[in-house]
Structure 1
Amino acid sequence: MPPGTPATSTAPDRPARTGTGSAPHGAGFWLVAAAFTIAMAFNAVPSPLYPIYQQRDGFATLTVTVVFAVFALGVAASLVVAGHVSDWIGRKRVLLPALGLELVADVLFLASPSLPAMIAARLLGGLGVGLITATATAHLHDLHRAHRPHAGPDRFETVSTGANLGGLAVGPLVAGALAQYVDHPLRVPYLVFGVLLLLAILAVAAAPETVEVLASRPSYRPQRVSTDHGDRTAYVAAAGAGFAAFAINGVYTALSAGFLLGVLHEPGHLLAGVAACVLMAAAVVAQTAANPLGARTRRALGLGLGAAGLVLLAVGIRSADLTVFLAAGIVAGAGSGILTKSVVGTVAAMAEPGKRGEAISGLFLFCYAGMSLPAIGVGLLSRCVSLTTAVYVFSAVLVAVLAGAALLSFRSSRASRASRA
């Protein structure tokens, strides 16, 4: 199936189980989207608070990138261990415990705002997000198909990536505002999101299940990192583009608070939240604006904007210019948003219904590897060379990855056109 084609697999979807939730599929779609948004927003809350932790405990920028990477490590681990099992046991049986993990992480942040507790909370949050990202995306696809069986994938693609990236935009903005204007900045944001996470659990509980649990389940195995999901070349291209998109987000977010405080001497917590917010907000707006474009045009635009954002990021770091740095976040965020929407839609469309959760889990495994590995690399490299040089190296590597993804995507599209002819 060509990339970007609506999900109309010849294999029939499993019948939806309509009696397990109190909401019909249309309402369930929005309930799951809201829960997805809350979970992602919660995990972005620490971003504008890192300078407070740094000032209080005296740890360096490298420590921030390591803490940030611990979260991505938890995501990758849960994707490997259980990101695909919702195909067998049902979406809600994975989403509800995953949201429970997020609630435990929130309690850890509240109980002890120390570095070891923060690392443990980030690890638990990552474990929960790995399950939520793959399972909620697959659940939204199922609910969309059940509610609008003859509609194209645009609503699913926009809402699933909007919930993912939109949550990451809202979280730091809310946390930064609370840290700026209320007392106890390391407690109040987590109290607020603790309540929201409880509401998210109730929302998922009310949504319909969409997987018919098999009487005889397959033998358990960890997630396979397989490219055998319809079009191997298109899947590898999607994985590479997803890696680069999340790497841009990861490094920008990990460096933004330290850059504002250490280089620009801007101590405002709200500004740190705004810096993280503009990246993800641009992603949400851009992916929505790109809806009328064809699949190939969207991919090309996302790849181009991602590369341009990397160049602006390097310039902003070198010149210590806040305007250029924020512009880099807007351009890079727009590119990453369009790319994320494109790759999720491509993989969801090409995967067989019984392996959709597995295919999406594998994709997000590549994506979150992109979020963690480059962030750690920049942190380590900045101890040996200047931050500007480290960002130059990072930008050059990611531009090469984007170019490789573009080449593979072009080859896949050309082969698909030839096979149709």
Structure 2
Amino acid sequence: MSLPASTSSRDFIFAACALLIAMVGTTLPTPLYALYQQRLGFDASWLTIIFSIYAAGVIAALLAVGSWSDQLGRKPLLLAGLAMGAISAVIFLFSDSIGGLLIGRLFSGFSAGIMTGTATVAVIELAPKTWKNATLVATAANMFGLGIGPLLAGFTSQFLPDALHLVFYVHLVMLVLATVGIALIRETVQRPHTLKLGIQKPSVPASVRSVFISASIAGLAGFSVAGLFTSMVPSVMIHIMHEQGGLLIGAVIGLFFVASIIGQALLQVLPKDRHMTLGCVGLIVGMICLGLSIATSQLGLLIAAGLVAGVGQGMILRAGMGAVTASSPTDQKAGVTSAFFVVLYVSISVPVVAVGFSVRVFGLEHVGEFFASLVAVVALLAMISMKRVQSKQAALSAPGS
């Protein structure tokens, strides 16, 4: 029995909005860190630890419960992810210490880890049959949420009272609305008679492995750029370019994620066999712009870096996610998607940790230029690797092979 089109569309929209709202919370603190540093008196190395604890929370949630929604259902896990986001917001509201920031970011990581894999699959499953771009909506909701977070926090901190708290009240209201929406959607998973829940070992079915590996190589480059850009830009703008406005800092960071959505949308009109190559080229050019912006203290080049690298990252994310979900068995989609996000979040965290501890020794300018160059090289290697994989796949599918 098919559902009315209005019900199908409603559930699809509610799930996508819930993913977007959850991801808003994960980047809210980014433009506020300078204010936290002034109030609490911690140095830049603590920012690395704060970001690392967030990434650790994401990975822990992906490994612990990433595949649970294949058995328990999508809705219970989505509600749990929204609850983790609410706990994080409450901690930020009532804690005024470095320990509170760490715990708040840990719960934010739990929220992101639960929501990314589960909500991505839920959005795709709930899409009306006539909708051909469900993967784009899922990945765009993720990226758009990440982009709105710093922009919203930058605006409230610069122009509205209670700079460190108001935005978290706003996010709590958004989370309540998202919870109501998820409570109303239909469940897409039939729960088995016997549940087999446990910590997920990062494993991928053999039938998906070649696609998963090739997508992960490109994802490594794309999310390394995301980690490098989001962690370094506030410090670069404040200490090298002497830009102090929270809204401007949030807007520059948000631009990267908005550009990611543009990159995902561009895949609609580009040849499929060029998606990964063009994405990697975007990353390389973006990192060149980032290195030059640091060397010359030019804000325009930094904005160009965010725009071009964001487009490249978006191409890679959507192409990789679409290939992985399409090739995954129905009863393992959430598990495989979560394993893919484990790779992505390891990729996003390693550059941040390396940058944070290197800056104290070599200085922000030299470290920024070096890591921008390094990520450009990784993107180049990813492009070469993807070309080889595509050539092998073409040879295997050729007649008479």
Task: State the TM-score, normalizing by the size of structure 1.
Answer: 0.90
Q: Distance in 2 between matches of 1:397 and 1:340?
A: 20
Aligned ranges 1:362-381 → 2 under 5 Å: 362-381=339-358
In the alignment, residue 72 of structure 1 is paired with which amino acid? Answer: A
Pair 402,44 (structure 1): closer, same or farther in 2 beyond 3 Å: same
Q: For the Cα contact (< 8 Å) 1:169–1:278, is it kept in 2?
A: yes
Aligned ranges 1:14-413 → 2 under 5 Å: 24-144=7-127, 147-148=128-129, 152=132, 155-217=133-195, 219-413=196-390
Q: For the Cα contact (< 8 Å) 2:143–2:257, is it kept in 1?
A: yes
CA offset digits 1:321-362 (Å, max 9, x no partner): 111111111111111111111111110111111111111101
Q: Distance in 2 between matches of 1:26 and 1:283?
A: 24
Q: For the Cα contact (< 8 Å) 1:177–1:270, is it kept in 2?
A: yes
Q: Which residue of 2 aligns with 1:10?
A: none
Q: For the Cα contact (< 8 Å) 2:263–2:313, is it kept in 1?
A: no
Q: Give the superposition deviation at 1:128.
A: 1.2
Please identify, of 381-390 and 367-376, the stretch whose mean Cα deviation from structure 2 is larger. 381-390
Secondary structure of the structure 1 residue equivalent to 2:268 = coil
Q: For the Cα contact (< 8 Å) 2:156–2:163, is it kept in 1?
A: yes
User: Which structure has more RCO (C-alpha within 8 Å, separation ≥ 6)?
Assistant: 1
Q: For the Cα contact (< 8 Å) 2:223–2:347, is it kept in 1?
A: yes
Task: State the TM-score, normalizing by the size of structure 2.
Answer: 0.94
Q: Distance in 1 between matches of 2:244 and 2:372?
A: 27
Secondary structure of the structure 2 residue equivalent to 1:186 = coil
Q: For the Cα contact (< 8 Å) 2:232–2:368, is it kept in 1?
A: no
Q: Give the superposition deviation at 1:398.
A: 2.3
Q: Extract unaligned runs of 5+ from structure 1.
A: 1-14
Q: Give the superposition deviation at 1:374.
A: 0.7
Whether 1:419 and 2:383 are equivalent positions in the alignment is no
Q: Distance in 2 between matches of 1:37 and 1:116?
A: 27
Q: Distance in 1 between matches of 2:373 and 2:237?
A: 23
In the alignment, residue 325 of structure 2 is paired with which amino acid? Answer: A
Q: Distance in 2 between matches of 1:351 and 1:402?
A: 26
Secondary structure of the structure 2 residue equivalent to 1:216 = coil
Identity %: 30
CA offset digits 1:258-307 (Å, max 9, x no partner): 22222222211111111111111111122112311122212111110011
Q: Distance in 1 between matches of 2:349 and 2:386?
A: 24
Please identify, of 24-33 and 57-66, the stretch whose mean Cα deviation from structure 2 is larger. 57-66
CA offset digits 1:175-201 (Å, max 9, x no partner): 111111111110110011110011111
Q: Give the superposition deviation at 1:223.
A: 1.9
Q: Give the superposition deviation at 1:412.
A: 2.8
Secondary structure of the structure 1 residue equivalent to 2:269 = coil
Pair 89,232 (structure 1): closer, same or farther in 2 beyond 3 Å: same
Indicate the structure with greater helix content.
Answer: 2
Q: Distance in 2 between matches of 1:392 and 1:326?
A: 16
CA offset digits 1:50-96 (Å, max 9, x no partner): 11111222222221122112111100010011111111111111110
Q: Which residue of 2 aligns with 1:11?
A: none
Please identify, of 225-234 and 374-383, the stretch whose mean Cα deviation from structure 2 is larger. 225-234
Please identify, of 62-71 and 371-380, the stretch whose mean Cα deviation from structure 2 is larger. 62-71
Pair 287,355 (structure 1): closer, same or farther in 2 beyond 3 Å: same
Q: Give the superposition deviation at 1:168.
A: 0.8
Secondary structure of the structure 2 residue equivalent to 1:290 = helix
Q: For the Cα contact (< 8 Å) 1:238–1:405, is it kept in 2?
A: no
